[in-house]
Structures are given as structure tokens and as C-alpha cells.
Amino acid sequence: MELHLHRLDYTQVGVTSQKTMRLLPALGKKSTQKVAIADHDGVVTCFGMKKGEAVPVFKTLPGAKVARMDLGGAEGTPQEKIFVCSGSQVRGFTKKGKQFLTFEANLTESINALHVSGADLFVCASYIYNHYCDCKDQDYFLSGDKINDITCVSSEKLPHLIPVLACQDRVLRVLQGSELSYDIEVPGPPSVLELFNKDGGEEVLYGTTDGKIGLVQIGDCDAATKWEIGNEKRKGGILCIDTYDIIGDGVNDILVGRDDGTVEVYGFDSSREPTLRFEHVLTESVTSIQGGCVGKESYDEVLTATYTGWVTGLTSEPQRAEAVQGDEVRLSKETQSKIEALSAELEQLQVKVLQGREQYQQSSQSSTAVSAVPVFSINDKFTLCQDDASYSLTLEVPTAIDNLLLQSDVPIDLLDVDKNSAVVSFSECDSQQPNGNFLLATYRCQANTTRLELKVRSIEGQYGTLQAYITPRLQPKTCQVRQYQIKPLSLHQRTHSIDPDRPMNQLSLVGQFSFAEIHSWVVFCLPEVPEKTPAGESVTFYFHNTFLGTQIEATYCKGEGTFKSDNISTISILRDVLSKEATKKKINLNISYDINDDSVSHTLRMIHPKLEYQLLLAKKVQLIDALKELQVHEGNADFLIPEYRSILDESANLLEEYKKQPAHLDRLYGMITDLLIDKFKFKGKNVRTKVSSMLQILDHYDLNSLLDFFSEP
Amino acid sequence: MVPIFTLKLNHKINPRMVAVGKFDGVHPCLTAATQAGKVFIHNPHDRGQRPATHRLSQSTQDSDISLLNINQAVTCLTAGTLGPNTTGDTLLVGSQTNLLAYDVHDNTDVFYRDVTDGANAIVLGKLGDISSPLAIIGGNCALQGFDYEGNDHFWTVTGDNVRSLALFDFTGDGKNELLVGSEDFDIRVFKEDQLVSELNENETVTSLCHMHGSRFGYALANGTVGVYDRTARYWRIKSKNHAMSIHAFDLNADGVVELITGWSNGKIDARSDRTGEVIFKDNFSSSVAGVVEGDYRLDGQVQLICTSIEGEVRGYLPASKDLKGNLMDSNAEQDRIRELSQRRQNLLLELRNYEENAKGVSQTNSGMGVIPANTQLQTTLSVRAATEAQKAHVELSISTPNETIIRAVLIFAEGIFEGESHVVHPSVQNLSGCVRVPIIPPKDIPVDLHIKAFVGGRTSTQFHVFEITRQLPRFSMYEVTEDSPAAPAGTVSFSINERPQRVVMWLNQNFLLPEVVESPNVTFHSLRGGGLMSFHMASNGQITLTTDDIDLAGDLVQSLASFLAMEDLSVEADFPSYFEELRTTLTEVDEFHSVHQKLTADMADHSNYIRNMLVQAEDARLMADMKTMKKRYRELFDLNRDLINEYTIRSNNHNALLARLKSVNQAIQRAGRLRVGKPKNQVIAACRDAIKSNNINALFRIMRAGTASS
């Protein structure tokens, strides 16, 4: 059965955070549901739709920014009490808007995840988890990395609720009281958790910031992964999930909202495997998603809230055929009155704004007045994409972006993104000048662009800062700068285990440094390390290189640290950066290293299949045009040898593959060059002169001759 | 709206070389240039097997397609009515050296002409008062029009290599004018060989198309697409992709054509001719090659036909009436509400800005970038001569009056930077309240500098954006000097009937002067070439310009003439060194020509050898005389190498010849640019005659005096 949903915009509130819109339970079987939504202005709005118009039930006064919303209520009654958190405070409202709870959690950090179940309240703030029952402190847990979301599973088999935390270091932590029961590794940093069955159960859905979805069954002492959906098409990260039977086949479907504006519905086929049944792309991040009935009774719909506060329904109600009278398109009455009301409001606003502008202008005459424009909200994300080893930067603001200036003090490459329609222009960076710019690029955006996506390719060993200056089309014009660190080992990603059989090089540090100091150096060198110093005496982190597949094991404690990697260049970079950082703090480091000569040939062997594939691909792609010409000339391709014929047959795939990985070969060459230089650097030799002869070998690549070249003294 | 037909032709299509022609007078055929110097003709209507003779051969892959061998890389192609008594359309194919007019139906050449200036663009139709339709080709700085017999009835020169042409009634006088888009960023309008208008753009003009009335669409190499009505630009948009082909077609059936653009990323969009608003879009999987129209289904309705470089073809019918011009899958009401709400949101945010600002903030929050309300930026433009550290440039200095700093400066301007913007971003240590931006405009054009300066405190994360627009005068790279040690040899003199004050006004407006000048006698020092340029006006209105730069002289004359609204101006000029250069160039042209002929003859000889040798070698093989066969093939191999070498020589020779011819054409254009109006056209026509009759002395006389007889 094919799913057809039509888009209907309902209303707009302020900028919203993730999971801040919920549907209140329906009163009768067929009636429409009310929508509760909270925004960054701190306003909680509850509204219902009447004749296509949003009729507010209640609206609270502005206050601190609301980070999360959940519904609750006494067990056995409809879950229709609204709970919101802002700062370290949790407030509760009845469905009529009466505030019945104000609870100060007294946490040092603001709450960013919330779960309510009966009298139990679970809150999470960065690293801290707290459980309250009837507002009394129950349990407490300190997580190893940032907590992104929380949910609780319950079942008849289990005596009490089991909280599950989604943590940034790619694990779900399952708690028992104040203790960690066990953790579950997931394929990406989890950003959202949702119960698969709303009435409880042990199955939990998770979504990751790199766009993957999965289902795990939480058991007493371990968990089982049911299924996973990858993200081959490189869609955005998951921000919200809900379950609802929108298809109408009696099985709950999964509704998914992503940060690139994609809304998806996954249904289940007979083999209980999720399959994509519907997709729609909105222009901005989908922060909340719910299934229910809002616009018109007995028509199910997917309700979404976006970053800028739009509440939009994707309804199964068939689109009204536009009534045609004479030759003019008649607007439906409801919309007409809506448009009129809006226009009237606009006019009033216009007058107010003009007054504001005038006052602002006048203040510029005074010599004592200051101009301070409030900070506008930016929703940004800078993440490493695993599959092409490049960083993706997304920026989103509530109004249209006018232009964006990118500045970097490290050499990086900007890649073209198809979705991005802005006109980019690179400005000359004079390397002579003392300004240290390696990249200056402006993006002039097309009208109504509120979201920009960029791709950046970094080089390991070159580190610094990428700055983005965002100017929205909003008077008085201001721009805001955001900084993103390009770390020395920027292409590495956290993992939870490494292959122990590889030949490893080791770098050991001994010196008068504290645990916190060495941790801060590791944070400086490697991505995805929590900024907070881990609890305990010592800690071990594992990483793998997304481009080459080499790995790092970092173990350190107060006064001592060891770093192991099968890639000698990684060790070399670590040595340089760590000693530099230590020197900055005037700490004397005793660095020793243990170089395993086998590791170089091991790394070369790891590169080999990639390099061979790329070389072959480049060669084939080079031939395509010539072969096609021959084909046209001769009328057919039968006379060609089978190898060439197969190139012709696969030409489309080959070209696509080639396009997908720009400069892949150059990057591999660069890494092999680094490997050569680093190998001999540890032996105290400078081999820059040998690089050109190595490049010659690469031109006629053969693994053995390259290995021989590397093993030359 | 979906395409009513799609075809996969299995032949690549060269961009911009697509046409539809009714070669038998009835059936429209899609015709396009493809790889390997071939042109394919897709004729799905007439499936009769035709004998493969002459140039035409049937494709073995697809019976609907016939291939035409040109044996040269095709550079342009069109189809249409050329001759008076032909049954169908004539196919015209241009290459870098030749123009072929071909009758597909009869399978014969109509004519085959050498065109030394190449054919980058072609257009077919009537021009001005010339009675027969012409095939007009644009090459390297030259325009040439041929009738059905291959006689050239039209010839003129233009400023640079021609990239696009269009024929339509620009002036509204009932006769067609020729629009020429060229690599010097100009669109020129020719009424026969008289230049009537010149529109300046900021990139190579790659496509031109007539819309309706005096309105036409254009596309530039930097991704700009827009619409002009005569000389006024209606709208333009810029994309990061390149416009491959533009075409006018009434897709929404409202009686007015839209501008259909095919982009390099495979997108097709239709934009309203008034506003540029997109009313329809679709996507191909590869770059669009060309957009044409024709009644391809033979049902009386004309379709828009779009082709991609991979040979995919889609046809679209104009929308039916009940769609109300709403071609996109959207709901107008919803869009309207959304737009209004967006505006409301914007106003609310702006209002909040003012409210919060009025409330005032604690000074502690330095991240917000609080600045004194009376902060105003000062900008100054000045000319800076070359120093050891820096090249000569125009300096734009921007400064704040108080302790605030300028974090970064963005300058958006057209045509003077590599991209469309220039950024100055000082490092944290070098932050100050004053930023100096060196600007080196590559050409003498007036430019609007749109400056955006980010002003705030040293530790701010949010900055105020000051937006200022300054105009850079046309002749900004010239510095006033007092001494003139050696006056340049080149002179231009003419007399005008104007008060000196008006000329002084022109000087002040068009040059970047440190202080306002009072007298019209000034000497400048060019920061680009370093040569001198002096301007002198006698009391009788006689103006003398001395400079060695003929281009500069031309620019000055044109600028002054348009400032004083002079329609005609005849000038006497002398540029000894440039003329000397031109004389050598002309002799070189002759040399290269003779070399070219000799090489062509050699090539013919060689091909005879090849034939002989091949026959001998194969004979030897049949007779199992392996030794002789090997020998023959070795000889053949050597000959092949020789041929390749010769080819390199020939192509070098050809390129050198082209470069010389281009500079000759440019010389004529430059001589023309020293005059205005009628005298200008006379000079160009007379120069052309002089070159035709190979009278070099007359050529120089014309360039100096403006007429042949004196």
C-alpha cells in the first residue's frame, strides 16, 4: 500500500529544541488531539485545530529556554500532564495550562533530557543522571560522556523501571539504581531514544547523529540488537522518532525526523523488517515528530515541529481540489480569513518596526548610547563523516542567511555539496601577510536559505581553527562567529575495541603532569573525547582512522601515558603535538618510543587494496571517453577485448564512484609520503629527497616494489 | 508536470550544439553534434532504410539515427531555411576552420567554405535590409554572414572572441539586428555592420536568446542568467552551476514565453520573463546539453525538447489550461500563508532586536559586541604607487572613529576580483580599528564596491555589520604626475564644441584624483603599464590625448563621448609603435598562410603513401612473405610518427595564424573604438576593404585619418 501524505502548515512558534512538541491524548475515539509545544523563548503553547485555524488552549509567559518536553500522569490515567525543563528547573502543567509543579533540581548544569513516568522523574544534564520520586532524590549516576537522551523500560518481568541513557561515546548505558548495569554499543553517537511500544515493553528505538536507526531489546543483564537501518544515502542525523500506525495495517510504523529536514515513515513487511514507505523533505531540521490526528478528525497524520518553530502536519486527508469559479482560483474561506488576519497583523507590526527603527537611528546621534543587538540563535553541527573521511558543517538560523564567511588558519579543502545552492567565492589568501589565513571563502545565499551545508576535508597533522561568520538577513544587521577545532588527528573516530594482533608502535610519556592535564592534551589531539576528566585513576580510549582503518589505543593516568598505534605517522603527530602542549605548560616530558618496523609494511598493506582500487578506477575512467568514441566510430563494441567492453558497460557506475571520492588518490599519496618521512624521522634521518623517487614508484604502483623501497635503509 | 516523451539516444551530445530541423520539409529531426567529429540526426518518423552514401551513414546501433561525418571537431550547429527553393531545412555545421551547409534530404553539400576566424557560434535568419537569409557565424573577433550560395554578404569585427549570437528586432524598426556576446564580457548590437548598442556584463556571454518584443535572455560563464529589455536589465540570478543553454518557450500557456535554462548539474528551470521567479523545474542525471523546441510528435503541438550530454531527451508540452500556470506540485494558499508567516517572524525578530537594544545590556557581556551607537565608518579611496613590498594599487581604507575594532571586511564587487568577493580577515594579534584593502582593478570599468564590515570588540563573538557602497571610478589606476620627461609618441586629437568646465567635470568623475582639478590639462601615470597619459584641451576645443596605449585612448574617447552625449566624433590618431607591430603581424599572417598551404599539400602526399604501403603490406601477408610484411609495417609505423609530428607542426602553425588574425581583427576594432558613431563604422568598413585588397598602406592611412582618401 502506498502512502500519500499532504503537507499542511498549522502555526509557528519560536525556535524549538529537540523533542519539545507532543500530542496530548485524544478525548474521544474520533476527536482531534491537542498539540503542546515549547520554544526557546520559554513559552509553552497548547493549541487545537478548528476549521483550519490554530486555536490556543493556553500559552504561558516567556521565560528561560525550554530544552525538552515530556508527558506524564498518574499510572492508569491518561498521560496528559505536560512537563518541561528549562535551566535546572522542571515545570508541570495540566492540559488546561495550570502550573501544578515547579521543581528546582539544583544541578549545576542545565537539564537537557527528561523522562516522566508516574511519580518518577528522571533528568539528565550533560554528564549527570538524577532520579527523583515525588521530587525526592533517589538515584544518581555520573556518565563517562555527554548524555543526549533518556528513556525507561519496564515490563512485567522487571520489578521496576530501568533507565537507559543515550551517551555521546556511542553507547547506551543501562542503569540499575545508581549503578551501571551494562552498556550497549551502537553504530553512532545516539541522539534520541524512544520506546518501541508506547505502553512499555523492553524494546528501545535509537537514532544516531550520523543518521542510523536501530532497535534493541533491553534485558536484565544484557541486550540484543533486533535490527539496524544504515545511512547509505547520507541523510541528516536523527533528531526525533515516534511510533504510530499511519499506514493503517495494524502495526505501529516508525516516524523519523532528521536534521536535514527529512521526514520518513518506516513500515514493517511480513518478515518484520523495517522498510521505507514514505519520505518528505522540509527545509529545516525536524526537531519533534508525532503521529496522531490534529487537523481533521478521522484523518491520521504525521505532525512535525521544525527548528524555527513551524508546526506542520503531513496528513492522509486528500488534498482539497481547488474550487474553480470562472477563471479564478478561489481561495477557501478559511485560508482567506487566515491570510487577511495575517496581513492585518503584518501591517501593525510594520508600524511598530518602523518606530523601532527610528528610535534606533536616533540613538546613533547620542554619544553615550550603545548599540547592543541580542544574540540570534544558531543551530550548528560539525561532524566527521565516516564513509568519506571529511567533515560536514551544517548551520541553521531562524531567518534567511544573507552570507557566510569561512576563515581557516589551517590548510583545508572546501568540497561542493549538491544541496547547497549558495554561490561560493574564494578570496585570495596572501601567505606573505601576517594574518595566517589559509582559507577565505564567502557564500552568498539565495533568498530564503535558512540552512547551509558544507563539507570540509582536513589533513591529519595540520591543526587549527575553522571560523564561520554568519550574517542573517535581519535588521540591524549583525553577524555571529562560530569556531570549530580541526584537531591534529582529525580523521579519527572513537571505537570500543581494536584489533590486538596488529604490529603496534608505542609512545610513552612520563612527567610531572596531572590526570586532568594529560586528559586535556588528549582532548586537544583527538575528536570525540569527553571534555570532562574521566572518573577514576586511569582511562583507556580506542580510536580508528576513518580513512585508512589504522587504530590508536590511548591509556593514561597521572604522570604517565602510553599511546599505541599501528600507523607510524599517527605516533609522529602525537609526539609533536604532545611535546608542544607540554612545553606550553612548562612541563618536562620524558618521551620514549618503541617503533615496530613491521608496522610500516602492515600499514602499506592496509593501504594497498584502497590504492589499487583507486588506481584501477582512475585508469578505467580515463579510458571511458576514448572507448565510447571508438564505439560510435565503429558502430558497436564487439571488436573490443572483454575488459574494455566491461568498462563500457559499467561506465555510469565507474563515473559515479569516481565522482564520490574526489582527490582520494591524492590523499592516499599524501599519507604514504607522510609514512615515509615519519618512518625515517624516528630513525633521525631526513628523507625528503627520497620523496620524488617514491612518487615515481607510485606512478607505476606495485606493492612489493613499494615495500622494498620502504625497507631500504 | 511530467515529460510527455523521453528518449535515450545512446550518443553523447556536445553542449550547445543541438537543433531541430525539418530536413524533408515535414518531419522534425533532432540534430546534434556528438563525439568523434560527427553529427547525428534522429529521425523517428521516416524509418525507410537509406543508402549510406557521401557523408551520411546509418547508425548500426539504432535505426532512427543517421550519422554525418564531419571529420573535424564541430563547434556550432544550426538548422533552418537558407536557400529560396529548397524543400526542407538546411543543416549548417561550423568547425574551427570551415562552415558546411548541407542538404540532408538530398544528401548533398550546399556549400563548404573556409572560415579562417573559426565559427564559435552560428545563427540563421534575416539581418537588416539584406534580402536573403544569412548563416551568420561568429569567430575570433569577427562576424561573417553567408547566403545560400556561400557568398559572404556581411562582415564586421567585434571586440573579442564571439561566444553567442542572436537575431531579432532589437530596435523595434521591423528589421532584425544581430546581438553578439563575446569573451570581453560585452553584448553588442549590430544593425547590419553598424554598432548601435553595447551592454557591459561581468563575464563571458555564453548564450543569448530572443524572448518577445525587444526582450532577450542571456547567460554568462559564471552562472548568471537574466533578461534584458533593450538596454535595461529586467532581472538576473546567479547560481553556482553554469547555464548550458537558454531558450524561450511558453511552458505555462499564459501567452508569454518563459526563459528556460538548462544547467550544468542537469537541472532545467523555467523562469517568468518579468520576475525571474521559477515556475517549473525538473532534473536530468547529467548536464543539460541543449534546449530546443519542435513538433516532435507531429500532432500540431510544439514541445519543449531538452537534451542532456549523455543523450537523454525529454519533451514537455505546454501546461493545460486547468493548471492555471501552477506547474509545480505546490499549494498556492499554503505558500502564501507560509510567506506571510515568515515575514511576520522576521518583523518580530527585528522588533525584538530593537526592544532588547532599548533595554540596554550589562557591559559585562562582551561576547555580544556592544558598540557605541554613534559609531560610523569612514571610507576613503586613494591611488598608491608601487613600492618595493607592494604592487601599485587603489587603496580602500576603512576605519572606525572609536575603540571598536574591525574583525573582517567583505567586499562584493563584479569583475575586479577572482571570485565575486574579496575578504580581509586580520589575525587576532593584528586587530585594529582601521583596515586597508588593496584593490587592483584589471580593467578600466566603473565598479560598485559593496562593503560589509564586521565591527565589534576584541573578544566579541557577535559583530555589527556595516554595509556601505562606494563607487570606484572608471579610470582609477592612474595617478596624477607633474613632470613629463618623455611624452608618449601615440596621439589622438579631435575637437569638440563644449566648454572646458564640462570636460573638467568628466575628469573629476572618472579619475581618482587626490584633489579636484580645475583645468582640463592633466598628465597621468598609469599604474598598470607605467606609461604616461596626458590630456590637453586647447581653448578652441581641440583635445589632444597622448599615450602609447591604444586601448586606453579608445576607452577615454568612448567615455568622454558618452559623458558629453556626442553621437559622432571623427578623430585623427597615430600610434607609431602599435602600427609598426601591426605591420609585422600582417607580414607574419602571409607567412603562416603559405606554410599552411604547403603543409596541406604534404599531407595529401602522405595519405597516398599510406594507401600504397598498406596494400603492399597486406599483399605480403597474403603471400606469407612475413619479412616484407614486417618491413612494410615498420615503414608504416615510421610514416605514422612523421604524420603525428607534422600534425603538431600544422596545429602550431594554425594556432599561431589564428592568434595573428585575431590581433588584426582587434586592431580594426581598436581603430574603430577611437571614433564614435558614423566615423567609427566608416573606419571599420574601410579597414576591412583595405585588408581585402591587401593594401596595407591604405589600412594605416585609414587608421590614422579615419578615411581612405586623403
pLDDT tens, position by position, B400-432: 888 888 999 999 988 788 888 888 888 888 888
Does residue A146 have a pLDDT over 50? yes
Does residue A14 have a pLDDT over 50? yes
- Strands across the sheet with A44-50, in order? A21-23, A35-38, A44-50, A53-59
Does residue B552 have a pLDDT over 70? yes
Does residue B560 have a pLDDT over 50? yes
Residues B441 and B496 in one domain: no
In chain A, where the domains are located: 10-237, 379-486, 492-595, 598-711
Task: Return the axis-axis angle of helices B626-673 and B696-705, rounded to nearest 10°.
Answer: 30
Q: Which three cell numbers stand for residue A169?
A: 561515546
List of residues 6+ apart from B280 with CB closer than 8 A = B1, B251, B252, B258, B269, B270, B327, B328
- On chain A, the residues whose CB falls within 8 A of the CB of B263 are none
In contact, A578 and A509? CB cutoff 8 Å: yes
Residue B177 inside a domain? The answer is no
Residues B485 and B533 in one domain: yes
Q: What does the pLDDT average to over B345-360?
A: 82
pLDDT, position B216: 92
Q: Which three cell numbers stand for residue A35?
A: 498539540
pLDDT, position A374: 83
Long-range pairs, A273-281, Cβ under 8 A, ≥24: A273/A227, A274/A213, A274/A227, A274/A229, A277/A2, A277/A3, A277/A247, A277/A253, A278/A3, A278/A5, A278/A246, A280/A5, A280/A7, A280/A314
- Largest CA-CA distance found in chain B, in angstroms, rounded: 105
**A713 confidence band (pLDDT: 50, 70, 90):** low
The pLDDT tens digits of the residues spanning A431-441 come to 556 677 888 99
The pLDDT tens digits of the residues spanning A449-489 come to 888 989 999 888 889 999 999 999 988 889 999 999 999 99
Does residue B331 have a pLDDT over 80? no
CA distance A487 to A358: 47
Residue B353 inside a domain? The answer is no
List the single residue in B with minimal CA-CA distance to A12.
B341
Does residue B487 have a pLDDT over 60? yes
CA distance A435 to B425: 7
Which residue carries 633521525 as its cell? Answer: A684
Does residue B323 have a pLDDT over 70? no
Does residue B459 have a pLDDT over 60? yes
CA distance B173 to B168: 11
- H-state helical runs in B212-331: none
pLDDT, position B118: 85
Long-range pairs, B276-283, Cβ under 8 A, ≥24: B276/B226, B276/B227, B276/B234, B276/B235, B276/B236, B276/B237, B278/B328, B279/B251, B279/B252, B279/B325, B279/B327, B279/B328, B280/B1, B280/B251, B280/B252, B280/B327, B280/B328, B281/B328, B282/B3, B282/B306, B282/B314, B282/B316
**Superfamily the domain A492-595 falls into:** Sirohaem synthase, central domain (3.30.160.110)
pLDDT, position B56: 63
Q: What does the pLDDT average to over A290-294?
A: 89
Lowest average pLDDT, out of A324-328, A618-622, B476-480, goes to A324-328
- On chain B, the residues whose CB falls within 8 A of the CB of A469 are 407-408, 454, 463
Does residue B301 have a pLDDT over 90? no
Contact A442 B354 (CB under 8 A): no
- On chain A, the residues whose CB falls within 8 A of the CB of B429 are 434
Residue B580 inside a domain? The answer is yes
> How many percent of chain A have pLDDT more than 70?
96
pLDDT, position B547: 87
Q: Which three cell numbers stand for residue B357?
A: 537594544
Lowest average pLDDT, out of A397-401, A685-689, B196-200, B218-222, goes to A685-689
> How many percent of chain B have pLDDT more than 70?
93
Q: Which three cell numbers stand for residue B423?
A: 575578504
- On chain A, the residues whose CB falls within 8 A of the CB of B350 are 353, 356, 474-475
List the single residue in A with minimal CA-CA distance to B9.
A632
Mutation test of the interface with chain A: which of B400, B410, B439, choosing the one with the most A Cβ atoms within 10 A?
B410
pLDDT, position A320: 55
CATH architecture observed for domain A379-486: Sandwich (2.60)
Ranges assigned E (strand) in A209-271: 213-218, 223-229, 238-244, 253-258, 262-268
Residues B684 and B607 in one domain: yes
Q: Which three cell numbers stand for residue B503?
A: 570636460
Residues B453 and B495 in one domain: no
Residues B656 and B594 in one domain: yes
Does residue A238 have a pLDDT over 90? yes
CA distance A150 to chain B (A): 33
Residues B666 and B582 in one domain: yes
CATH number at residue B406: 2.60.40
- Mean model confidence pLDDT for chain B: 84
- Work out whether strand B447-456 and strand A464-472 pair parallel, antiparallel, or are unpaired: unpaired
- On chain B, the residues whose CB falls within 8 A of the CB of A625 are 35
Does residue A321 have a pLDDT over 80? no
List of residues 6+ apart from B223 with CB closer than 8 A = A423, B238, B239, B240, B241, B242, B243
Q: Tell me the three-class secondary structure of B621-633, residue by residue.
A: HHCCCHHHHHHHH
Residues B463 and B411 in one domain: yes
Does B461 contact A at CB distance below 8 Å?
yes
**A325 confidence band (pLDDT: 50, 70, 90):** very low
A431 vs A212, higher pLDDT: A212
The pLDDT tens digits of the residues spanning A636-658 come to 777 888 888 888 888 888 888 88
Lowest average pLDDT, out of A28-32, A566-570, B276-280, B556-560, goes to A28-32
List of residues 6+ apart from B66 with CB closer than 8 A = B40, B41, B43, B50, B56, B57, B58, B59
A351 vs A625, higher pLDDT: A351
Q: What does the pLDDT average to over A245-267?
A: 89
Does B265 contact A at CB distance below 8 Å?
yes
pLDDT, position A488: 92
Q: Determine the residue type at B193.
A: D
Q: What does the pLDDT average to over B209-225?
A: 90
Does residue A329 have a pLDDT over 60? no
Does residue A283 have a pLDDT over 90? no
pLDDT, position A206: 94
Long-range pairs, A431-436, Cβ under 8 A, ≥24: A434/B427, A434/B429, A434/B430, A435/B425, A435/B426, A435/B427, A435/B430, A436/A409, A436/B427
Chain B 604-623, residues with CB within 8 Å of chain A CB atoms = none
Of B418, B443, B472, the last residue of a domain is: B472
A484 vs B49, higher pLDDT: A484
The size of the A-B interface in CB pairs under 8 A is: 232
Residue B8 inside a domain? The answer is no
Residue B334 has its nearest CB partner, among A9, A373, A633, at A9
Instruction: Find the domain containing B591 and state its range.
Output: 576-705
CA distance B478 to B392: 10
Ranges assigned E (strand) in A409-515: 413-415, 423-426, 439-444, 451-457, 464-472, 478-486, 492-495, 505-511
The pLDDT tens digits of the residues spanning A88-140 come to 899 999 988 899 889 888 888 889 899 998 888 999 988 899 999 888 888 89
CA distance A399 to A377: 10
A555 vs A299, higher pLDDT: A555
Residue B384 inside a domain? The answer is yes
Does residue B332 have a pLDDT over 60? yes
Residues B396 and B465 in one domain: yes
Contact B347 A349 (CB under 8 A): yes
* B371, containing H or E segment: strand B371-372
Q: Determine the residue type at B485.
A: P
The pLDDT tens digits of the residues spanning A658-708 come to 877 777 888 888 888 888 888 888 888 877 788 888 888 888 888 888 888
pLDDT, position A324: 41
**Superfamily the domain A10-237 falls into:** YVTN repeat-like/Quinoprotein amine dehydrogenase (2.130.10.10)
Of B454, B472, B490, the last residue of a domain is: B472
Give the residue from A707, A530, A670 showing the smallest Cα distance to A142.
A530
In contact, B234 and B214? CB cutoff 8 Å: no
Of B494, B523, B555, the last residue of a domain is: B555
List the single residue in A with minimal CA-CA distance to B423.
A427
Q: How many angstroms separate the Cα of B696 from the Cα of each of B158, B584, B589, B689, B708?
A: 20, 11, 12, 10, 11
> How many percent of chain A have pLDDT more than 90?
23
Residues B615 and B700 in one domain: yes
Angle at A453 between CA A449 and CA A458, to 5 degrees: 150
* B692, containing H or E segment: helix B678-692
**B55 confidence band (pLDDT: 50, 70, 90):** low
Q: Which three cell numbers stand for residue A112?
A: 537537557
Residue B681 inside a domain? The answer is yes
Does residue A331 have a pLDDT over 70? no
Q: What does the pLDDT average to over A441-449?
A: 86
Does residue B365 have a pLDDT over 60? no
A632 vs B683, higher pLDDT: B683
Residue B222 inside a domain? The answer is no
**A21 confidence band (pLDDT: 50, 70, 90):** very high
pLDDT, position B334: 72
Domain count, chain B: 3
Tell me if residue A438 falls in helix, strand or coil: coil
- Mean model confidence pLDDT for chain A: 86
Residue A342 has its nearest CB partner, among B265, B344, B454, at B344
Q: How many angstroms separate the Cα of A683 from the Cα of each of A550, A569, A692, B344, B583?
A: 22, 13, 20, 67, 67
- On chain B, the residues whose CB falls within 8 A of the CB of A635 are 59-61
Residues B518 and B582 in one domain: no
Residue B37 inside a domain? The answer is no
A334 vs A658, higher pLDDT: A658
- Largest CA-CA distance found in chain A, in angstroms, rounded: 90
- On chain B, the residues whose CB falls within 8 A of the CB of A407 are 408, 423, 425
Tell me if residue B367 falls in helix, strand or coil: helix
Residues B695 and B637 in one domain: yes
**B328 confidence band (pLDDT: 50, 70, 90):** low
CA distance A673 to A615: 17
Q: How many angstroms separate the Cα of B518 from the Cα of each of A280, B502, B508?
A: 68, 11, 9
CA distance B376 to B358: 19
CA distance A557 to A647: 55
Q: How many angstroms separate the Cα of B583 from the Cα of each of B483, B578, B590, B691?
A: 33, 9, 11, 12
The pLDDT tens digits of the residues spanning A44-85 come to 999 988 877 788 899 999 888 999 999 988 877 888 899 999
Residues B667 and B613 in one domain: yes
Does residue B364 have a pLDDT over 60? no
* A572, containing H or E segment: helix A568-584
A489 vs B333, higher pLDDT: A489
